[in-house]
Amino acid sequence: MSRIETLQRLSDSPVIAVIRMNDTSKLMNVIEALSDGGVKFIEITFTTPNAADIIKDISKKVPSDSIVGAGTVLDPETARIAILAGAKFVVGPVLNLETIRLVHRYDIMMLPGAFTPTEILTAWEYGADVVKVFPATELGPNFFKDIRGPLPQIRMLPTGGVSVDNAGEFIKNGAFAIAAGTDLLDKVAIANNKFEIIAEKAKKIIANVKAAKK
């Protein structure tokens, strides 16, 4: 799958589930619940122990329409490890220009992190497919409307502080897609094997985002 094809898929299904799990024994249950609810993009962060091995393993097991990527990628070396393990997109919390170049060399979608208008524009000018705005907790949905005024061409994705209930507000204010972790991946539900709660949350966030895009 080319990075353009992945980008189109993200446009069609604009929610990325950010997964940070030290105990990965229930990971496939979580991914299947997310897929049942309509969330197709799965980001495995490199803060997760053995992240590359996990990406390699689950890439063979996920539902056919799910897309596995790597998150918290800080440098080109880690990006290459992730891509060789099977990651179809790469997300960074910060802006590293060499990482963008490396990821695009493999025709993989890259979402570098940025916070200020200058960083956001720099990331875009160096080829970011989507700019991850992080931490969005500090900025809120209105920030995206403000940035879209002078920079309407930039595709942005908020991470940090995005919930099932406020995801639509980010989209209404100009975000291309959103990424959610804590609120979407209910730790209590996972601990109690109530994966249907994850599926319901996934359905709700997809519905909220798609309604906001109309």
Catalytic residue annotation: 43, 132
Residue type, 15: V
The pair of three-digit structure tokens given for residue 48, joined into one six-digit string: 């997760």
Pairing of strands 67-71, 41-45: parallel
CA 115 to CA 156: how far, in whole Å? Answer: 11
Which phi and psi angles does 48 have, rounded to 5°? -80, 130
Query: Among 185, 186, 156, which Cα is nearest to 173's?
Result: 156
Q: Cα separation of 57 and 205, whole Å?
A: 27
